Amino acid sequence: MAKITFITSDEQRITVEGFSGSVMALAVENGIKGIDGDCGGVCSCATCHVHVAPEDVTKTGEASEIETDMLELDDHADQYSRLSCQLQISEVLDGVVLRVAK
């Protein structure tokens, strides 16, 4: 189990619990504003973009090349950017804080 906190663009802090699947799917299930997950998680739409809190990047790990290439062409991306469909829920992610990009 992992507790994950989303901060939306209107500064709402929402903490939800997930067991498996992707962080994007968890966010969509919980109606987190700004995470649409249009492509269902295949790394094609970037509507699941989040900024990981700097102190949590060790937990989320490195993005793959395909994900990085995608983020490079996103105007709002920075070094903490991730596509949340590429983050798999596990104990490792417990406590992470993600700021929704949109």
Both tokens of 98, joined, read 């993600």
Alpha helices in 10-92 (DSSP H): 23-29, 57-60, 65-72
Q: Does 47 bind ligand FES (CB under 6 A)?
A: yes
Question: How many other C-beta atoms lie within 10 A of the C-beta of residue 102?
Answer: 14
Minimum distance between the CB of residue 24 and other proteins, rounded to whole angstroms?
12
Q: Which residues sit at the interface with other proteins, rule CB under 8 A? A: 36, 38-45, 64, 66, 69-70, 73
Q: How far is the CB of 50 from other proteins (least distance, A)?
A: 18
- Give the nearer residue to other proteins in terms of CB position, either 11 or 31: 31
